[in-house]
Structure formats: C-alpha cells, structure tokens
Amino acid sequence: MRRQEVVIYASTYDSKNDEGKVVQVGEIHILSKKQASSSEKGVSNGHRIAQVEVPFEVAQRIIGQVPAVCEIEYEITVVNKALVLLPKNVQVLKEIERLNVLEEANYISVI
C-alpha cells in the first residue's frame, strides 16, 4: 500500500535487538491529517504525530530533505498478534520550504 504523507522529522540511532546486538535503526515522524475529536473529557483539534521506526537506510536517505511530502510504501506485518502497517520505503516527492511557525507568524503579520 502506498500513501502520500508529510514527514516532519527523520533520525538515525543505535539500538539493541532482541539478541542484545547493537543495530542501526531509523525513525520518522509523520504528520496526521487535521482532526477534530471530542470525548467525555473535552474537545481537541489539530494534528497528531506518528513516530515510526523505519530501516536505517530509509531514514538516512531522507535526512536533510524533511520536512517534505513523501510517498510511503507500507507493508502489513503482524506485531503482538495484531496487523500493523510499517513503512518499508520512503521517497521524497517535494520538500517543504517554510514550516517554521515563528517564520510563518512573522510572514503573516507583514501582509
């Protein structure tokens, strides 16, 4: 399955696998679609961020290009007896030039 998503962060780091061996992994943060939801405790509005582990090579390839609109290829995997969509490949389609909130606020006040 392929989807276009906004990736706002990418990083790589060392981690230990199940056998205790140090392995290199990557992580990306994906911005969700704008949501408005309510519960018995109140109402929320805005964007949630999904933090997702990806192969080291995938994160390394897009570092320096995010924030960006990316095409993400997902694979379905079983994790703890549940089906989960995990990013297998990420391709940058278009870098986002301005995503700094302070810059945007200054830009809007000038208009």
Per the structure block, which two tokens stand in for 80? 């703890």
State the pLDDT at residue 71: 93
Structural domain harbouring 33: 2-110
The confidence score (pLDDT) of residue 110 equals 47
Rg (CA), the chain: 17
Taking a C-beta distance cutoff of 8 angstroms, is the pair 62, 68 a contact? Answer: yes
C-beta separation of 57 from 25 below 8 A:
no
- Kindly report the number of other CB atoms within 10 A of residue 23's CB atom: 10
Residues of the chain with pLDDT under 70: 98-111
How many domains are contained in the chain?
1
CATH of the domain at 64: 2.40.50
Give tens-digit pLDDT for 25-34.
Answer: 999 999 887 7
User: Are residues 108 and 41 in contact, defined by beta-carbon separation less than 8 angstroms?
Assistant: no
